[in-house]
Amino acid sequence: MTRSDGRTENQLRPVKFTRHFTMHAPGSVLVEFGKTRVLCTAMVEDAVPPHVKAANYQKKPEDREGWLSAEYGMLPSSTNTRKQRDKGGKVDGRSVEIQRLIGRSLRTIIDLAQIGERTLWLDCDVLQADGGTRTAAITGSYVALWDALLAMKEKGQLKYWPLIDSVSAVSVGVIGNAPMLDLCYEEDVRAETDMNVVMTGKGHFIEVQGTAEKAPFERKRLDELLDLAARGCTELCKLQKKALE
């Protein structure tokens, strides 16, 4: 079965990383998963949030750790129907959930003891949405993080290179009873089951988030989806490596 855009079931959309997309952030990557375009930037702040500060307080200066924090937003014009900007007090639950996921995923592959008492800010802003914005954001953030760490290295701000592994993410889903890789928006809406998987370059899992959108799913189906996701992440990992050459 071919898909609306001609892909096979286990094929990613065309993936593209444009490094140094903007000039102020030391890491600035425009990542594209087909028509989905997310600007991922990494900036360095010379301060840490209170809970890290408190933990550092009892350590020797040379042992004090840093932090990595992620934020996610969608431009009002990034979706088909205009998305209202956040204003005074309203909570966009979906954005909160996504930015927590991005932060957790990236913190798993970095040794925060190597960056000193600093915060790495990863901002993922969706310029154009067509499904899979959170997986594109994680995959692109890794590249932006790399570039920001390179800049820190040049300034002598790193003890050792802090990246332990790489990270990429992909969505998988079941449509018309068939598991498919990297859903675009039109597929995402029709999916019976939807799963986002975050993996390291070494092929281990960081996050598995599967949701029965329409109907609960069996263990066998879950296994198929995990296989498909692992395949997609392996490919994304290669593309990241190539972009960073």
**Cβ proximity of 49 and 65 under 8 Å:** no
**Cβ proximity of 148 and 42 under 8 Å:** yes
Question: Does 10 interact with its own copies (rule: CB under 8 A)?
Answer: no
Interface with its own copies (CB under 8 A), residue from 25, 70, 180, 228 = 25
Q: What whole-number distance in Å separates Cα of residue 170 and Cα of residue 181?
A: 8
Question: Does 41 interact with its own copies (rule: CB under 8 A)?
Answer: yes
Contacts of 175 (CB under 8 A, 6+ apart): 183, 187, 190, 191, 192
Question: Does 168 interact with its own copies (rule: CB under 8 A)?
Answer: no
Within 10 angstroms of residue 51's Cβ, the number of other Cβ atoms is 9
Q: Which stretch binds its own copies (CB under 8 A): 5-13, 118-126, 131-139, 154-162?
A: 118-126
Question: Residue 117 phi/psi, 5° resolution?
Answer: -80, 70
Interface with its own copies (CB under 8 A), residue from 226, 228, 233, 237 = 226
Q: Is 117 exposed, middle or buried (0-12, 13-18, 19+ CB in 10 A)?
A: middle
Interface with its own copies (CB under 8 A), residue from 20, 53, 204, 238 = 204
The residue whose two tokens read 């390291």 is 200
Q: What whole-number distance in Å separates Cα of residue 135 and Cα of residue 167?
A: 10
Within 10 angstroms of residue 101's Cβ, the number of other Cβ atoms is 22
Question: Does 6 interact with its own copies (rule: CB under 8 A)?
Answer: no
Q: How far is the CB of 5 from its own copies (least distance, A)?
A: 14
Q: Which stretch binds its own copies (CB under 8 A): 47-55, 86-94, 132-140, 231-239?
A: 86-94
What are residue 181's DSSP bridge partners?
172
Q: Which stretch binds its own copies (CB under 8 A): 47-55, 57-65, 117-125, 135-143?
A: 117-125
**One-letter amino acid for residue 145 of the chain:** L
Interface with its own copies (CB under 8 A), residue from 10, 128, 157, 234 = 128
Interface with its own copies (CB under 8 A), residue from 151, 222, 239, 244 = 222
**Which residue number, 1 or 91, has a Cβ lying nearer to its own copies?**
91
Rg (alpha carbons) of the chain, rounded to whole number: 18
Question: Does 53 interact with its own copies (rule: CB under 8 A)?
Answer: no
Supply the DSSP symbol for 78.
G
What does the binding site for its own copies look like in residue numbers (CB under 8 A)?
Answer: 22-25, 28, 35, 37, 39, 41, 43, 45, 71, 73, 75-80, 82, 85-91, 93-94, 96-97, 99-100, 104, 108-109, 121, 123, 125, 127-129, 165, 195, 199-200, 202, 204-212, 215-219, 222, 226, 230
